[in-house]
């Protein structure tokens, strides 16, 4: 029973951090190891999602609620921090803009070289 | 009690991210990345951020997947 | 060989990041700026959604930068994918099945209405311009799936999108000229929790919602053109 309460305590403190760091780690692995260009862009998208999850989990307050005054007299002492949410909203939209532009460049590269393998493109050169 | 459900969701998210690395068919890898985005949207809601959850579900899980699938149609489907 | 060295390097970096960031406690109240925005948010702006008042009123200039980045990405994509020869694509387009065709045409105005509801009520409930714009873009993706061979009227959507961006900048400049700073909230604040309240915030969010929705649709339209 002591082991169970220890595990629950550990999970309560570190669970969201483990999820966010895991996503960042896997995204970095995909970018460095894989050879296909579209796989690399998928890894970029996963890395982006991991960083956004980390930013939101830093702004969380225990037993807090969403920062919206739906009724006029709500208690404002236990509301979650609104500033990281505004920053992550911007970051998600910028992420999708970068991904769309990267995919258009990948399509152009395929039309020019005939392959999407990064080793072969480096060897061809012209 | 809620903490065990969240643990299962985080483990599913990490399994989906690893399988996006391992699959050789690019269409399956894109669907795995869509699952990562969707579970991240649920986690955003559980962290009391409904605006960010709505944005991630609409943009990350729907539009990014559509753009990827159209790009895969115009290039190759299988990683060589 | 290369992958083993990469994994070891990433392992060292991950260990460093974890040791540096693990001392951040989870779930403790931390910042003073957040407390100020929650306490004084309704008096200063009149919007009951505090995240909306942070995005549009307190940090409105960052939102202008974000809209600019999205605009540049859409133009860059259109410029990269433009082909020199305009081949007239008269291939045989296989029509969609009856269920898909009827269902998508039935759902299209409902989804547009839902997206418009979300960006009009951005200052009262969770939502806002970017979320509503993404929902409008996904309605147009449904039309591309079901009515194949049909394209967007490009001149009209580009005109509405540019109008949305201009409205944002003109509202900011009017605030500057009325004695104050760029994006001053100069309209009356009104009664909180009603539709016509919060000054210029609904006007900016309607402009952003239309602009982002039609921009994302334009991105998909540029990608779909001449695909096999």
Residue B61 near chain A (CB below 8 Å) = no
Once rounded to an integer, what is the mean pLDDT over residues C153-171?
92
| Reported ipTM | 0.94
Residue C55 in this model has a pLDDT that exceeds 80: yes
pLDDT digits (tens, 9 = 90+) for B17-59: 999 999 999 999 999 999 999 999 999 999 999 999 999 999 9
Whether residue A51 lies inside any domain: the answer is yes
- pLDDT at residue A13, as a whole number: 83
Q: Of residues C72 and C46, which shows the higher confidence score?
A: C72
Q: What is the distance between the alpha carbons of residues C156 and C143, in angstroms, rounded to a whole number?
A: 17
B67 confidence band (pLDDT: 50, 70, 90) = very high
Whether residue A94 lies inside any domain: the answer is yes
Does residue C192 contact residue C48 with C-beta atoms inside 8 Å?
yes
H-assigned helices in chain C? 2-21, 32-44, 50-52, 60-80, 98-120, 129-146, 154-177, 201-224
- pLDDT at residue C215, as a whole number: 94
pLDDT digits (tens, 9 = 90+) for A104-115: 999 999 988 888
Residue C228 in this model has a pLDDT that exceeds 50: no
pLDDT digits (tens, 9 = 90+) for C80-130: 988 755 555 556 778 888 999 999 989 999 999 999 999 999 999 999 999
- pLDDT at residue C199, as a whole number: 83
Answer positive or negative: Cα dihedral of A26, A31, A37, A38: positive
- pLDDT at residue B48, as a whole number: 92
Domain count, chain A: 1
CATH code where residue A98 lies: 1.10.287.3510
Does residue C189 contact residue C42 with C-beta atoms inside 8 Å?
no
Residue C57 DSSP code = I
Q: What is the distance between the alpha carbons of residues A33 and C184, in angstroms, rounded to a whole number?
A: 49
Residue B79 near chain A (CB below 8 Å) = yes
User: How long, in residues, is chain B?
Assistant: 80
Q: In chain C, whose CA is at the least distance from the CA of B71?
A: C223
Whether residue A12 lies inside any domain: the answer is yes
Q: What is the mean pLDDT of chain C?
A: 87
Residue C149 in this model has a pLDDT that exceeds 80: no
Domain count, chain C: 1
pLDDT digits (tens, 9 = 90+) for A22-68: 999 999 989 988 999 999 999 999 999 999 999 999 889 888 888 88
- pLDDT at residue C137, as a whole number: 94
Cβ contact (<8 Å) for A97 and C193? no
Q: In chain C, whose CA is at the least distance from the CA of A16?
A: C26
Identify the domain containing residue C54 by its residue range.
2-224
Residue A101 near chain B (CB below 8 Å) = no
Give partners of C (≥3 CB pairs < 8 A): A, B
Whether residue A67 lies inside any domain: the answer is no
- pLDDT at residue C5, as a whole number: 87
Answer positive or negative: Cα dihedral of A89, C199, C164, C61: negative
Residue C227 in this model has a pLDDT that exceeds 70: no
Q: Which of B59, B60, B64, B76 to mutate to test the interface with C (most CBs of C within 10 A)?
A: B59
pLDDT digits (tens, 9 = 90+) for C27-41: 877 788 888 998 888
- pLDDT at residue C25, as a whole number: 82
pLDDT digits (tens, 9 = 90+) for C206-217: 999 999 999 999
């Amino acid at each position: 029973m002591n082991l169970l309460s220890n595990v629950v305590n550990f999970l309560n403190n570190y669970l969201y951090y483990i999820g966010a760091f895991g996503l960042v780690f896997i995204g970095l692995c995909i970018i460095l190891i894989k050879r296909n260009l579209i796989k690399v862009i998928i890894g970029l998208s996963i890395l982006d999602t991991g960083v956004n999850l980390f930013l939101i989990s830093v702004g969380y307050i225990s037993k807090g609620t969403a920062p919206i005054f739906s009724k006029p007299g709500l208690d404002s002492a236990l509301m979650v921090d609104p500033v990281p949410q505004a920053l992550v909203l911007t970051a998600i939209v910028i992420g999708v803009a970068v991904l769309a532009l990267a995919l258009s460049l990948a399509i152009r590269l395929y039309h020019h070289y005939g392959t999407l393998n990064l080793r072969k493109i480096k060897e061809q050169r012209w | 009690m809620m903490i065990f459900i969240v643990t299962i969701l985080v483990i599913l998210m990490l399994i989906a991210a690893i399988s996006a690395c391992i699959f050789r068919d690019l269409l399956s890898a894109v669907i795995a990345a869509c699952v990562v985005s969707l579970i991240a949207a649920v986690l955003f809601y559980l962290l009391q951020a409904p605006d960010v959850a709505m944005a991630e579900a609409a943009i990350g899980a729907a539009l990014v997947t559509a753009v990827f699938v159209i790009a895969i149609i115009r290039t190759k489907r299988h990683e060589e | 060989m290369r992958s083993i060295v990469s994994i070891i390097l990433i392992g060292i970096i991950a260990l460093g990041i974890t040791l540096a960031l693990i001392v951040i406690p989870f779930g403790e109240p931390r910042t003073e700026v957040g407390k100020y925005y929650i306490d004084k948010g309704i008096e200063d702006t009149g919007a009951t959604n505090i995240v909306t008042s942070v995005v549009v009123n307190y940090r409105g200039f960052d939102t202008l930068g974000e809209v600019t980045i999205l605009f540049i990405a859409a133009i860059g994509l259109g410029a990269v994918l433009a082909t020199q020869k305009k081949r007239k694509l008269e291939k045989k387009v296989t029509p969609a099945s009856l269920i898909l065709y009827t269902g998508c045409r039935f759902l299209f105005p409902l989804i547009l209405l839902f997206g418009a509801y979300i960006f009009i009520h951005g200052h009262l409930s969770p939502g806002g311009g970017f979320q509503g714009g993404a929902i409008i873009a996904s309605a147009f993706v449904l039309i591309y799936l079901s009515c194949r061979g049909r394209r967007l009227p490009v001149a009209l959507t580009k005109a509405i999108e540019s109008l949305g961006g201009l409205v944002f900048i003109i509202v900011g400049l009017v605030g500057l000229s009325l004695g104050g700073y760029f994006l001053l909230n100069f309209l009356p604040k009104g009664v909180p929790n009603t539709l016509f309240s919060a000054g210029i915030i609904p006007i900016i969010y309607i402009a952003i919602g239309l602009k982002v929705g039609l921009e994302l649709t334009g991105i998909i339209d540029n990608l779909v053109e001449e695909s096999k």
